[in-house]
Amino acid sequence: MHEGHRERMKNRFLSENLDHFNQHQVLELLLFYTIPRRDTNPLAHDLIQRYGSLTGVLEAGFDDLIKVDGVSRNTALFLTLIPHLCRRYLKDKQGDKPQLNSSSKAGNYAKSLFYGRPYEAFYVICLDAQNKVNHAALVHEGTIDSAPVYPRVIVEAALRHKAAAMILAHNHPGGSLQPSAADLDATRKICSACDAISIRVVDHIIVAGEQYFSFADRGLI
């Protein structure tokens, strides 16, 4: 019975993609590939209930998932891999050296860096003289509500990756797009440090979910 159900689910995906799947059905389908001989529907429901959504399950992290009854090491590893794979996919779609010559391009590129990250992180996107990406350097990973950034670390990353200019980018996992007083203060300090070595800070992007805030668009940089 379970084998027939699995084939129906797979064929349904092939005919209509995931557009009309419920969240637990998407998770059930994923679990087929790490749980070969057991009904995955109850576990899918349990995980959705525990974490609140499919996104919550995928962002739970290996150490948390492995503690759930019925979740093996392979299953926890597989589910944890998916957000990282999605982030890599989105970043790779933009090419090796995309040209970030507008705030919209910078915002979309920054979103690809933070996809699936439930914690705060800070990137320095190093640009060449044509505003093409040399390298996106992850300079800090913090707690969910704190990412202290030090100008020295930013300057070192810019010099190491031969930046003619840079875009700062960090995320607000809590969902607020507005820069905090600490964000504004850190940006001023970083701009001052970079001015001293003739590297332009052309924007600072804050990402929250599918939205972004551009300091350049608001005249804050």
- Residues 117-146 have a mean pLDDT of 86
Predicted confidence band of residue 24 (pLDDT cuts 50, 70, 90)? very high
Computed over every residue of the chain, the mean pLDDT equals 90
What is this structure's pTM?
A: 0.69
If you ran DSSP here, which 8-state letter would residue 212 be given?
Answer: E
- CATH architecture of structural domain 2-89: Orthogonal Bundle (1.10)
Which of these, 172, 165, 166, lies nearest to 213 by C-alpha position?
A: 172
User: How far apart are the C-alpha atoms of 40 and 72, rounded to whole Å?
Assistant: 13
The per-residue pLDDT for range 86-99, each reduced to its tens digit, is: 888 877 877 778 89
Domain boundaries, the chain: 2-89, 96-214
- Is there a shared CATH topology between the 2-89 domain and the 96-214 domain? no
Burial label for 118, CB within 10 Å (0-12, 13-18, 19+), is middle
CATH of domain 96-214: 3.40.140.10
Instruction: For residue range 121-131, list pLDDT tens digits in order.
Output: 999 999 999 99
Backbone angles phi, psi at 177, to 5 degrees: -85, -20
